[in-house]
Amino acid sequence: MPPPPSPALPPLHHFFHPAHAHKYAATVRLGLDHLVSTLGRVTGPATGRTPEDADRRVAAVDLDHPLGDAAAALEEMSRVWLDDTVWFHEPRYAAHLNCPVLVPALLAELFIAAVNPSLDTFDQSVGATFVERALVDWTAGRVGLGPRADGVFTSGGSQSNLQALQLARDRALTRDPGLDPARLRVLVSQDGHFSVAKSARLLGLPDAVLGVPVDADRRMDPAALARTLDQLRDLGLVPMAVVGTAGTTDFGAIDPLADLADLCARHDTWLHVDASYGGGLLASRRDRHRLDGVGRADSVTVDFHKTWFQPVSASAVLVRERDDLRHVTWHADYLNPRGTDRPDQVGKSLQTTRRFDALKLWLTLRIIGADTVGAYVDSVTDLAHDVADAVEGRPELELAAPPQLSTLVWRVRPRGSTPEDASALVPRVRQALYDRGGAMVAATKVDGAAWLKVTLLNPMATADDVLGILDDAVVLGTRMHRDRAEVA
């Protein structure tokens, strides 16, 4: 049998290329019009579509039959996703650490995607390598990590934390090659991020992480840390790292970083600061001091896609001593062979091919500047305090703690309800707010009990917007509690 005829080469105008620039521009304009007209119709943070319905819409598409037409595909895309997406610019979106995004960063995305440089080596990026390096140096300078600092952009706080803990582990094992890794321990506050424990597991240290108790403000208790470090020494265990959190995910608590740095110095232990959330304070003239001590860390995580209002992904891991990055270095003959002095970033990263996410921060700093970002950070902190003040003295709303950054942990306490009733209402109130499409809030557990949470990262939202969500929750929760009481 003769082989089947090879298919004819499709037209090449689908590629980004100077000869097809007009087609590229027309397609992007079509997309831009579609996006802007969609934006104009948005009336709330979500429409309340159910998972079953969202799944059904996607499953109905036959991926083996292309539409051959961008306009038709955009209409279909709207049906499967965009029409019901969650909008982070909406003032009643207040769930997780998702931020509305800055337009200078969106401008950068256009160039990042089309030019498509890869940040692993100089010969795939040229100036981009130095843009990223300049931003790493600039951020490390704001942190105060000193003249030998370095770092690299990552996909997010989770990857930054993983890399930092890998460096800490490998420093410990390099110093003492005979050390049994099973004796390594990582100390993090009991409110620290789950990516710390997950990283330890990925690093082959499933039992290494110990939770250190927090004080009344939910900051790591340095006295408890000191006791734990002494106990580990007495047991012959090795604290390979202390992880301080600058902005816990639920309470925004900032661990006493200077105290942690003192203890780490005394015990010769790596200090990693997870500033995924609180890193925005680096831009704040007013509140930068709240991170005092962070400059004494061995490594720091900063998530630009949280409190720097950048689109996902944009994060960095920074280190005080650039030589520590050698623990992730691998020499590949085709990419960064030993003995060449071409600048590369791949030797500092867990990734190989890597987006030029740094350009988003670059254009943000070059167009609006860090002070503007810092003022936005200040305004969401103020917003959380204003809402907390307004809630004070309202018996049907309960706050778990005063705000520290821009989260509030709260719940509805209908008249005559017990704490258990209030816990039971949490998932139902949250779901009811989403179902009606009117507001999105998060939920969490505090000491085993359920609470609602708002995370305020939108400088365009007002206290009235947020209080409106809380008022709706009170109406819903009160009705649910009354209906239940009647049934009982």
Ligand X SMILES: *Cc1c(COP(=O)(O)O)cnc(C)c1O
Kindly list the residues in this chain that would bind ligand X in the complex (CB under 6 A): 97, 156-158, 161, 193, 195, 245, 249, 274, 276-277, 303, 315
Per-residue burial over 102-117, b = 16 or more CB atoms within 10 Å of its CB, e = otherwise: bebbeebbeebeeeeb
Which of residues 367 and 446 has its CB atom nearest to ligand X in the complex?
446
* Smallest distance, ligand X to C-beta of residue 173, A: 24
Give me Rg for the CA atoms of the chain.
25
Question: Where are the alpha helices (H) located in 324-462, listed in sequence order?
Answer: 358-367, 370-391, 419-435
Closer CB to ligand X, 97 or 297, in the complex: 97
- Report in angstroms how near the CB of residue 97 gets to ligand X at its nearest: 5
- The pair of three-digit structure tokens given for residue 161, joined into one six-digit string: 């934390």
Q: Which is nearer to ligand X, 407 or 417 (CB)?
A: 407
Angle at 288 between CA 224 and CA 223, to 5 degrees: 10
Residue whose C-beta lies closest to ligand X: 157
Instruction: Name the helix (H) or strand (E) containing 47.
Output: none
Least Cβ distance, residue 32 to ligand X (angstroms): 27
Q: Measure the N-to-C terminal CA separation of the chain; round to a whole number of Å.
A: 78
Separation of alpha carbons 469 and 466, rounded Å? 5
Number of CB atoms found within 10 A of residue 85's CB: 14
Q: Which 3 state secondary structure label does DSSP give 443?
A: strand
Q: Which is nearer to ligand X, 163 or 195 (CB)?
A: 195
| Residue 316 Cβ vs ligand X, minimum distance, rounded to whole Å | 11
Residue 123, SS3 per DSSP = helix
Minimum distance of ligand X from residue 28's CB (angstroms): 28
Of the pair 117, 156, the CB lying nearest ligand X is at: 156
Minimum Å distance from CB 461 to ligand X?
19
CB of 20 to ligand X, least distance (A): 36
- Closest contact distance (angstroms) between CB of 301 and ligand X is 7
Q: In this complex, which beta carbon is closest to ligand X, that of residue 124 or of residue 349?
A: 349
Q: Which is nearer to ligand X, 193 or 296 (CB)?
A: 193
Q: Compare residues 121 and 245 and give the one whose CB is closer to ligand X.
A: 245
Least distance to ligand X from the beta carbon of 64, Å?
A: 34
Given the complex with ligand X, which of 360 and 413 has the nearer CB atom? 360
Select from 441, 428, 434, 408 the least CA-distant residue to 478: 428
Question: What is the distance, to the nearest Å, from the Cα of residue 433 to the centroid of all Cα atoms in its chain?
Answer: 24
Which DSSP string do the residues of 98-116 spell out, in sequence order?
Answer: -----HHHHHHHHHHHHH-
Specify which residues 186 forms β-bridges with: 209, 241
Cα gap 201→204, rounded to integer Å:
5
Q: Which of 328, 315, 309, 311 is nearest to 160 (CA)?
A: 315
Cβ-Cβ contacts under 8 Å for 461 (sequence gap 6 or more): 91, 92, 94, 383
Q: What is the DSSP letter of 3?
A: P
